[in-house]
Amino acid sequence: MSRDELDRLLFGPEPGQKPGGMGTVRFVAHCPGNSDVVLERCKDVLEVALRLSNEGECREEVWASSLPSWFVNQCPPKPSQQELEAFDRLPLEERIRLGRERKWPLVAFVNTFTALTDERYWRWWDAAVVDANTVYVAVEVKDWPFPWESLRQLLLLCGATSVEAEE
């Protein structure tokens, strides 16, 4: 984790600061009238995730005790080997559909920040509450398209009802 990312999360980008890679991509998080709460929760979770990642901490139990309890409680249990095998036998379209509908277990979120930390596909850039139902989140990316399911899951677990890339 770059120290810049944590600073941007806490204070926003510095005047004149330019993103690396190909720049930023903006996402729209739709919220049920509580966009300020969703953004605050997202920042709270991400701050802990970035700090633990920066420390090289990868034990799920440390993350579970460090992250806000409301977040940990939103995460379903890790699927059993039997459940994973059954999922793998499903047709691709069904796996994609279920993957979009299901929330991630905590271990999947932890892996986003601990496995190949330097290879994360997005980094926090900035965010703003547009109105009671909308939050814009900008992330710094190296390439487009890029895997952004971890960002979507983060926002959903923090209370957003849907998240989409801005067109």
Instruction: Note the pLDDT of residue 143.
Output: 85
30-72 pLDDT, tens per residue? 999 999 999 999 999 999 999 998 888 889 999 999 999 999 9
3-state class (DSSP) for residue 125: strand
| Short-list 63, 155, 51, CA closest to 107 | 63
- Domain boundaries in the chain? 3-165
Q: At what angle do helices 149-157 and 106-114 cross, to 10 degrees?
A: 130
Give every strand in the sheet of 162-165, ordered side by side: 122-131, 134-141, 23-30, 162-165
- CA 58, 112, 119, 29 torsion-angle sign: negative
pLDDT at 118 over 80: no
Residue 117 pLDDT level (bands cut at 50, 70, 90): very low
Instruction: Note the pLDDT of residue 114.
Output: 78
This prediction has a pTM of 0.87
86-108 pLDDT, tens per residue? 888 988 888 878 777 788 889 88
Cα gap 22→106, rounded to integer Å: 30
Confirm if 16 and 39 have CB atoms less than 8 A apart: no
Instruction: Note the pLDDT of residue 115.
Output: 63
